[in-house]
Chain A
Amino acid sequence: SQKIEQNSEALNIQEGKTATLTCNYTNYSPAYLQWYRQDPGRGPVFLLLIRENEKEKRKERLKVTFDTTLKQSLFHITASQPADSATYLCALSPGGYNKLIFGAGTRLAVHP
């Protein structure tokens, strides 16, 4: 069956460290992969999009990698701050489909 897996356990890190979140998928061949941030009770906010022919994308303190062989995307936040605490969602677009399928998300807590 098709699955998108994100670590369901919260990731706790110290302020200033790099947070790394993982998104694994099976039985998809995504053309695009996106990352969103979601705060409690609010709608997801788009962060980054990476295409299947791109290995890496950066935006300020954020970096996303996309390995279609491993079927995995990594999301990095460098120099993390308590304000980065949120749930981060991975979403992919199966090739040929006009839709975005979301993982359940990983909660990140950055401690001062």
Chain B
Amino acid sequence: EAQVTQNPRYLITVTGKKLTVTCSQNMNHEYMSWYRQDPGLGLRQIYYSMNVEVTDKGDVPEGYKVSRKEKRNFPLILESPSPNQTSLYFCASSYDRTGPTYGYTFGSGTRLTVV
């Protein structure tokens, strides 16, 4: 089944403790992206990648890092999480490296709570 897999689904952590949210897609998609979703604010893009070893900032990149060492994986790293990073996170992928010319396939989400 074609899908984007995120792990974990739920995570509670403490301020300052480094964490990684994994994202993997099995569709050989070029483009991958991370979004966070907060009530009333909609989905906001954190980082995106158009190809292996090519990443770029989205609209809210502060406090996050990403890497794209393999085509299928695009982990999101929070080096020192803070409470304002409590949110619902989604990974997405798309066939076209430019992203928006095809629909995005989203993962099921990771609900992160930083206390």
Contact of B42 among A41, A43, A98, A105 (CB under 8 A): A105
> Could you say which of B41, B59, B105 contacts A104, with CB atoms under 8 Å apart?
B41
Cβ of B90 and Cβ of A44 under 8 Å apart? Answer: yes
Interface residues of B in 5-51 (CB under 8 A from A): 31, 33, 35, 40-45, 48, 50
Tell whether, in the assembled complex, residue B103 and residue A46 are in contact, meaning their CB atoms are under 8 Å apart.
Answer: yes
When C-beta atoms are compared, the residue in chain A nearest to B31 turns out to be A98
Contact residues in A for B101 (Cβ distance below 8 Å): 32, 49, 93
With A49-B102, A93-B99 as known contacts, state yes or no: A103 contacts B42, CB within 8 Å: yes
Partner of B100, one of A4, A31, A44: A31
Binary contact readout B85-107 vs A (1 if CB under 8 angstroms, 0 otherwise): 00000101000011111111111
Q: Are A102 and B48 in contact (CB under 8 A)?
A: no
Q: Does A99 contact B (CB under 8 A)?
A: yes
Give the size of the chain B interface in residues (CB under 8 angstroms). 31
Question: Which chain A residues in 21-46 approach chain B with CB under 8 Å?
Answer: 31-32, 34, 36, 41-46
Confirm or deny: B75 has a beta carbon within 8 angstroms of a beta carbon on chain A: no
Which residues of B lie under 8 Å from residue A42 when comparing CB positions?
A: 108-109
Contacts of B106 in A (CB 8 A): 43-45
A87-100 interface mask toward B, CB cutoff 8 Å, 1 = contact, 0 = none? 00101010000111
- Could you tell me if B42 and A102 are in contact, using CB atoms closer than 8 angstroms? yes
B61 CB within 8 Å of chain A: no
Total A residues in contact with B, Cβ cutoff 8 Å = 25
Q: Is A101 an interface residue (CB 8 A)?
A: yes
Inter-chain contact B107/A43, CB cutoff 8 Å: yes
Residues of B within 8 A of A4 (CB): 42
Which residues of A, 46-64, contact B by the 8 Å Cβ criterion? 46-47, 49
Given contacts A42-B109, A43-B109, A105-B42, contact A99 B90 (CB under 8 A): no
| B42 touching A104, Cβ below 8 Å | yes
Is there an interface contact between A98 and B108, defined as CB atoms closer than 8 Å?
no
Chain A interface (Cβ within 8 Å of chain B)?
A: 4, 8, 31-32, 34, 36, 41-47, 49, 89, 91, 93, 98-105
Q: Report 9 cross-chain contacts, Cβ distance below 8 Å, ordered by A residue.
A: A32-B100, A41-B111, A42-B109, A43-B107, A43-B109, A93-B101, A99-B33, A99-B45, A104-B41
